Structure formats: C-alpha cells, structure tokens
Chains A and B, each alone.
Chain A
Amino acid sequence: MTANATTRRLRVHRYKRGDSSPRIEEHDVPADEHTTVLEALRWIQLNLDPTLGLRHSCFHASCGTCGVRVNGRERLACVTMLSDVPGTVTVDPIANLPVLHDLAVDMEPFYARFPDPHPIVRDSELVPDAVPPGTAQHERFEDCIECGLCLSACPVAATDGTYVGPAALAYAQRLLDEPRGADRDAILAWADQDTAAWRCHAAFECTEACPSDVRPAQRIMALRRELRHRRTEQGREVPEQPTEAVSP
C-alpha cells in the first residue's frame, strides 16, 4: 500500500439461492490509487466475508470472466480502478442474465443466443488427425471475449429476453467476414429476423460498454447492409419457391 492509501466504501450486491430478494452489503475497503474493483472485492472475500461469490480469472481483461456493473456502468472488474470511480462504489452483477449468486450470473442464456456452431470451433477447425503443419489455419483473431457487458448494456435486452443481442449478432457478422466453410446463407437467414438483426434500436450502448473493441453496434449495421444486398439480389433473381427454405 503506497502513501496514497485511503478507505473506499463498497456497496456489493448479495444474493444466494433461496433468498427472497437481493440485498446490498456495505464494506470499507483499504485502497490506493491503483487498487482495482476486483482487488477490492477479493479483499472483502479474503478478510471480511468468505461467502462473497464472484468470478474472475486472468486479471488483465482478456478472459471476460469478471464483468460487473460499477455504479450502473458495465466494466471489467480487473481493470477498473477505484480511483476512476468517484464516491461510493456500488457493484452489481451484469444485467439481463439470471443471477446465480452475488456477482456471478448464469452465462448459459448468453451463449444460447449465438447461432450454431459456437462457441469456439468451426467446422474447418475440427481436425480428425494430429495437428497439421503450420498452425496458421487454426489461428483466428477475435476481439470478443464473451464477457456479456454488451448484453447487459443493451436497452432492448433489458426488456426482451428473446432478442439475440449484440454479442451473437457481432459473432454472426464476423462469420460472414471470415466464413471458413460456414454457410453464409444460413447465417444471413438466422440474422434476418425480428428477434435478431432487426430488433436493434441503434442505441450503441453495446459498443460503449465493450472492453475489447468489438464494436458490436457497427457490426449489426454491417449485417443489415448484407441483408439489404441479399434482398436486392433475391429481388433480381426469379425465386424457385415462394418461401425461403434453408437447405441442410
């Protein structure tokens, strides 16, 4: 602890299975100018209350595990410094996903929104043999760390649980950019729905919240541009069937 040590008050969302409703617990935590929200939470866990449940892993904003809301804004706890947060620090779990306990949410509905195949491996990457020479074909640089901050920030997801959300749509758009054998038509058909690309109201909150430069809102608009082109193309061709069937 440096000479700039102070005490910060944290208000932490607490909830355990079986509780009738969540509650807020206040703790005074020692901090200096570099202490992060995650460090403060772990201090509480280690010194005051071992029952505090939270998720974290890498400590450097690359795993996407420690997403929380700090004073209402979506942040990664591991890189959010208390010195950047004025006043009392309220820590809540990310929104729009069921709370499992305290600050940990159930990420399954987050992943359920994604189009298949997901989460990580695409068809081209399922290799039956041993690792082939040159691993370049298995490298894919994706910014998305699947932290869920975008879904938490989205005003549509706040009220509509059927909206697939920014992460899933951004993922679909990345697949279009780099299909590697994925079926582009199927991706576009998946996106061309009221619960998908057309539900976004362009609040751009997802892009604001994203800690990883995914820019999901811009990707959703790029997806719409693709859908628009696809519609114009279909308009020019004579359709063989009246309805658009997705072939297996």
Chain B
Amino acid sequence: MEPPDDLDEYLRGDSALSRQYRRESAPTPPHALDRRVLGLSRGALGLSDGVHGTARRLTPWLAPLAFAASVLLSVALVLAIVFGPQTTKRVDDAPRLVRVAAHPDATANPPLNRRLQLYSSDPKLARAPSIWLADIAALRRAGLNREADEELRRFRSAYPDYSTGDLAIRP
C-alpha cells in the first residue's frame, strides 16, 4: 500500500522541503558567462557584443578620423617646411649670421685670406678703415698686388675721403 501521499501537500507550496531548499546556497553563473551570453545575443542581431561594444561602435568613426588627422598633420608639416616662417626668414637672416660670424673673426685677427673671404662677400659690411687698409698693406707685402689693387678700389668706393696716410697700400 502506498504511504500517505505528500505530493499534494508539497505542490500546495511552502512545504518544509521547499523552505529548506530555498535556504540553500543559490549559485549564479559567473559574470564572464553573463557577458558571453549577452554578447552572443547581441551579436546574433548584428549589434556589438557589449563587451567591446563601445570600442567597436567607435571604431568606424575613429579609423577615418585618425587617417584624416594623419594626412592633415603631414600636409601641415610639409607646408611648414616649405613655406613656413623659418624658410622665409632664412634669406633675411643670412647676412646677419655672416655679420655675427665676421665680427669675432675680425677681432680675433684671422688669417688675411680668411678675412678677405669674409669681407669680400659684402663690401658694405662694417669694417674699420684702418683694419681694411692694414689688410691691403699686408696683401702688398705678400706680393698679392692684384688682390691689393682690388681691395683698394673697394676701399675707395666705401670710403672715398679717407686718408690712407703713409700706409704701404699703393703699388
């Protein structure tokens, strides 16, 4: 004979067995599994998977944006090199740089040929007449009369009224 049926009592709910079962631990799936399943569900709809969703949503925008930024930067760099302020100033700055270089050379009394090379690039450069005449005299003494004559002609052009005195600048 069947023992008293407690199924009906159990199915009515709130039995001791159900209460005890509810008191047991209630494990849930790991979060990684949650993310995987939710990603799967979104992926099936053609959406980003939610895990890397933000990155994937931005990717279509970021890629061309990054490319455009690279092109723009490259063009700006080329323009800066070709037409930038440093290039345009270079012509203006060149005499100034020569001048800056010439003065220390002059005071340091560099070799005559070096001084001639420096000064001959621009006869209008500020050069003291006495130094210039001394250079011409040195050219004479060295037997470089043609160079001395040329320098004297330039000197006269620059300082037409300057008295040369007894300096051995003439042939």
Q: Do A and B bind each other?
A: no
